[in-house]
Structure 1
Amino acid sequence: MHQGLGPKTGSCGTLALMPKAPQINLIRAICPIVLVAILLGLSWVELLPELDTVTLDAQQRLQIRFSQSSNSKASELLPRLNPVIVGMDDQFVDQVETPIALSHVWIAKLLEALASAKPAVIGVDFAFPVKRFDSIYLADNPQVNFHQRLIQGLANASRSVPIVAIKVWDSEKSDFSPIHPDFQNVLDSQPGEFEAVTSAMFCQDVDGMIRTLPDSVCQPDDTEHGLANEMAVAMGLPGVKAGWIDFSIGEKFDYIPMMDVIQASERGDKAWLSSRFEGRPVLFGAVMQNMDSHFSPHPLAAWLGDTTYVPGVLFHAQIFRSIVSERGIKALPDWIPIVLTLVTATLWWLPSQRLFELSVLVMMLSATVVQVLLIHRSLWLPLSLMWLCGASLVVLRLVFDNIVNLSEKRRLKKVFGGYVSPSVLDGILKGSIDGSGQGKEVEVAILFSDIRGFTRFGEKHSAEQVVQLLNDYFGRMTRVVHESGGTVDKFIGDGLMAFFGAPNSLLRPATQAACCALKMQNELESFNQTLEARGQQPIQIGIGLHFGWAVIGHIGSPDRFEYTAIGDTVNATARIESLSKDLGTSVLCSKAFAERMNQEDSIPVDKHFAEFPNLGNLKMTNFGPQALKGRADMAVFGMEMKR
C-alpha cells in the first residue's frame, strides 16, 4: 500500500475528486432566489422598513453632530423661515388659575399681541372650542363673554396675519371634531389658498416615533393638509406632501412663555415684540412635557436636554423647517433598492468564496457611501433589503460551502482511507500537507518489519492464500501502528515501513514506536492462532527500530507521488531489521533509538502506549557494535518485555 496522492491538486479545498450530487447543485442554485423572495415578502409586510428607520436615525444623528460642530445647516435656515415657539407652560397654568379649556381670553390676548408684531404666519396648535360658552363672562367686562372675546381676538389678529388652526380626530366618530362654526367662519374668511383649519395628526411609525411628514397616507381622512404645510402655503411657499422630517436642520427649539408675550403687549413694549416675531413664522402650543407629547428619534427641546419625549408643537416646527428649506427627505423609487438587491444576489454565483465575499463587501460599502451622499441632498435610499440579502448570502455561502467541504472530506476519507494513513489524510484535508513537493527534515522514529521465511511460504501456497495472509496480517499490523500514533509509509512485499513524528509531531516518538513494536508482537500471537485454526503454519516477524533525521514529504513526479520518508535513517533501519534474524531477536533497535527512549522517560505516558506504562520492564540486550551492510558498525540492542 503506497502513500500515493495522485495528481497534484493544490490545497484540500480543491480536492473535489468526486462530483457533487445534483441535489446539492440545485439547492445552491436556488438559494439566492429563495432568499430574495423571503426578503421581498418581509419588506411587503413592513418588517424591513424598521431597519431602514434605524439607519435613517443614525445618519441624521451624525448630521446633527456635524451641524453642531460646523453650524452648517443651522446657518442655512434664514431667520424668516425659522419658526418661533410660543408656549403655554406650567407657569402660565399656575399663574392664571384657570382651566386650560377656559383660556379663551388669554388666547385672544396672545393672538392680538402676536399680530401687532406682524409675524409672517401664526400656527395655533391648540384646538378651538367645539361649543359656545355664552354663560361665562369676563369679570372686568360683563358685556363680553368668553366665546365673544375669543372670536374678537381671532378676528382682530387674522385681519393682519394669516392664522392656521388645527382640528383633532375623534376616533369614536371616525371623523375630525369640527370647531365651532363661529371660529371656522372667521378663519375661513382669510384671503389665500391655504387651509385655515387643518389636521394636527402626525405619522407615527411602528416603534412609536414620529419621523414622517404628515401626508395623506397617515391622515385618517386621506387629506394632505397638515399644520406646518398650510403655514408654508400661507407664506406663499410651496408645501411638501410626502417624505421624512429632516431633524438635522436648525438647533434645538426654545420657547417664549405665553404670558411674557401678553405682558409685553399690555405694557406697550412694541420693540420687544417686533424683535422676536416680526416677519417670522410663529407656532403657539402647549409645551408641558406630559401634554400632547410624542417620541422623537432626536431631542428637539433645548429646555429638556436629551429627552426625546417632547411636546407636539415642536414636531410641527421641525416639519415646517423641513418644508420651507425644501429639505423634507424624499425616498427614491422602490425599484432601486430591489434592483440593488437583485444585483447583490447575482454575486452568489461567483466561483470563488473570497471573490464573492469581497464583491458583496464592495457592493454594500459602495451603496452605503451613495446613501450617505444622498441624505445630504435630502434623498433617502433604503438599503436594509440589500444589506440583509448580502449578509445572509455570505452566511449561507459559508454554511453551504462548509457542508459541501465536510461532505467531500467524508468521501475522500471513504475513498482514500485505505490508501494513506489517517494522519496523512487529515493533513491533506486540513491543508497542512499541500502537495507542493517541498520535503521537510524531521527527527522521527522509523520502524521496519518483515515476515521471516515468507518466500518459502509463498512457494508452498497458492497466490490467493498468499494475498489473503498478507491482507490479514497487514490489516492487523496497520491498525496497531495507527493506534500507536504512527504513520504507515509503505508495504514492500511482506515488509512494512512506518514512522513516528510526522506529519503529526509527537512528544515521545521513540517510546511510541517501541510500544508499537511490542504490540505488534502481541498481535502476531493472536494472528498465529488464527493461522493454526486454518491449518496453516504460524509466522515470525523481525522488527528494526532507529531514530534520527529523515526528509518527510512528497516524492515522485508531478503526476504520481508518495508521502514518504527518505534518508540515511530509513536505510539504516532497514539494515537493522535484517540483522535481527541473525542475532536471534524479534525486535532490534539502534543505540540512538535506545538513548532517545531514555530521554523520553520523564515525559508522561499517553494513550498510545497505555498497555506498557512501565518501560522499565523492558529487557534490553546489548549486542554491541554490529556490521551493517554498506555502512559503519552500529551498536544495537535487542528488545523484549520481561516475562
Structure 2
Amino acid sequence: MFKIRFLILFFVSVLFLFVYFSKPSSITKFVYNLEDIKFYIKSVLGADHKPFDDLVVVAIDEKSINRFGRWPWDRKVTADLINRLKEAKVVGLDIVFSEKSNPESDRALFDSIGKNGNVISGFFFRDYATQTVTEEVIDFLEDCSLPRYRVLSESVGIPEFSYIESNIPQILENSLSCAFFNIKPDVDGIYRHYPTVYLFEGMIFPSLALQLVRFYLDREIYLEIDQLGVKKLNIGDITLSENYIRLNFYKDIKTVSAVDILEGGIDPSFFKDRIVIVGITEMGVYDIRPTPVDPLMPGVFLHYVAVSNLLKGDFLRESAIYDITFTVVLLLSVFTVGYIKKLKYRMPLYASVLFIPFLVPSLLFIYKNVWIVTVYPFIFSFLYIIALEIYQFFRVDLQTRELKRAFSKYLSPDVVEQIVKDPESLGLGGEEKEITVLFADIRDFTVITEKLSPHQVAKLLNIYFDSMTKIILENKGLLDKYIGDAIMAVFNAPLTVPDHSDKACKTALDMVKRLDQVNRNLEKQNLPHLKIGIGINTGRAIIGNLGSSLRFEYTAIGDTVNLASRLEGLNRIYGTDIIVSQFTVSKVKSDFLFRKLDRVRVKGKEEAVEIYQLMEKSERNKNIKILYEKALEHYFNTEFSTAQEIFKKLWVEYEDYPSKILLERSEYYIKNPPEEGWEGIYEFKEK
C-alpha cells in the first residue's frame, strides 16, 4: 500500500516538475492570469505599500499635449523642460532622439543636457535594423556599458540583441550616461518582469532603472554572469541574482505634469536631489503597457516601479526553490492525510491542505515580498488527492490485479495488456508475420544435473530463468516457452516491434553479459557456473494461440523457428556464444559487430544459409573479424593453403576456436579437394 501511494506521489511530482520547468505556453498564460489575483487581494485588504519618496515621474500627459501640441515637440520645449530639472540628482529619459531636427532646436537640447550634467538618455534594442549605427555611436555607447563584470562560463545566458535604436551622437556625447528602456512582456503580453542587463556588440548594458539607481547612489555596479545569466549583481547594498526582477506594483505613482513645470507651476527646487523619470503618459502616443494592476499603464511607470523596488528592496523575490519546496510539502501533507482510513475524516483535512496554497503565498506576498506560485501547488495537490482516492476505490479489486501480476511473470506486458483488454484474443488460431526467434540453451546441462539433487537443479534453473526472462521482456520480447533448460523467445509478436531483429541481438548480448552475474549468484548458492549458446533467426512464421480447445498456448511455429533452434546448437561446434542467420543480419539496423562464420546446411533444411557470430565490440574482436573473414573468402574460393595460414595464425595468436575448426577443414580439403563447383557449403548431418 505504501509503495503504490509513494509511486503515485513520485509520478505527480515528476509531472509537476516537467510542467513547471517546460512551461507550456497555454499553461503558463493560465497560471499568470490566476496569480495576478494576488494584487487584487492586496488592494482589497488595504495592504498597498508606498513607493520611494525621492522619486517622481515628469509626465508628458494629455494636458501637456493639449498645450504644446502632439508629440514630438519642438526640441527647444524639451530643452526648457530639462533645464528646469537641473537640481535633480539624476534624470532618466524614457524617450529616444534617433533623428536630427532643425539645428537651432537640436543645439538647445544638446546644451541643456550637457549643462545639467544629470541626464541619463534612453535607447532601445530591436530585433531588426531601423538605423545605421556608426562607429561614433558605438564608442559613446561603450561608455554607458558596465565596465566591471566577471564571466564565469564560456557562454552567458543574458538576452542579446543585434540591433539598436539609439540617440544621435550629440545627445549621447552630452549625456551623463545612457541606458536601454525597452521591456519584454511575459508570454501572455502582460508586463510583470523588469530586465537588469542586455547584451549588445559584446557589451553589457544596464536597464534605465538600474542606471538611475547606480548614479543616485553614486555606486558602481558589480556583475557576475554565467551560462544561466546574472549570477550576482550588486549596487551598494542591493543584490540581485536573476536576469529580471519581478515588479511589485504600487497603487499610487508620484507624477508631475510637464506643462506645470514649463509654465512655472512647479518650482525647480521641488526636484532637488530626487530621481526624475521623463516619459509619455498620454494614451494617444501608444506607450501603453498592460500590467496585473492596470491594463493601460504608461510604460514610464514601469521604470518608476523598478527604481522604487530596487531602492526600497521591495521587489518580489521569486525562486524555483520556493515553488518546488512549497509544492512538495503540500504533496507530502496529502500523502499523510491519505492514510486516514475513513473518508469523512479525510475530506476536511484535504480541504484544509487545498486552502493553504491560497493563504500562505498571499501572506508572504503582502508582508514579505516573497512570490510563491499558488496554482501549481493547488492543482497538483488536487490531482494527487484524486489519484489517491481512485486508488482507494479500486483497491478492493486486488484479486484481479493479482491475477494480472501472475500472468506478467510468464508473458510480456504487451501480451498481458492485450489479454486484459480483449479476453477473446485467447481463442484458437494464428497469423503469419515476420518475426525474430531466439533460442538459448545451457551448455552440457545433462552433465551438470548428474551432480545435483532435483532441488538444486530447480534452484539453479529458477535463478537462471528469472534473470534471462527479465532481459527478454525488457527488450520487448515475448517469452514463448521454457523447454527443459532452453528458452524460446519471439520478437515482433503479438504487437509490432519495428526493430525486432535489433532487439533480439541486443537481448542475446545482454544475456551473455548477465550470465556473469548469474554465475556469481549461483556460486553463492554452491551451484556450478553455466555457459549458454544462443541462436537467432528472422523470417515469416505462424504466431498465435495454437493448440486444442482444452489446452493451447501463444507460440510460433515454422521453418524460421526450426532454423533458430539449429543455429543455437551450432555454438557447440564453433565454440561460440551467439550465432545469427544471414536473414537476421540483413534486417539489423544497429551497429553490431557480426563476424561471418560459415556457409552451412543444417539438418532438416535443403537450402544453405550463411551464419554469423554476434560479438562484443572490442579492438581484439574487430581484428579477429577482419582476418577471419579474409581467410574465409580464400576458403570459399578453394584457396585452402592461404586460408590455412590465416586460420592457423588466428588460432595460435588469439585461440579463436572457429579458426581452429576452419583450419582443420582447410587442411582436410588440401589433401582431399572438393568437387568441381563446390560452393563452400558445409553440411551438418545431426541436429
Under a length normalisation based on structure 2, what TM-score does the superposition of the two structures give?
0.44
Structure with the greater alpha carbon radius of gyration: 1
Higher relative contact order (CA 8 A, sep 6+): 1
Under a length normalisation based on structure 1, what TM-score does the superposition of the two structures give?
0.47
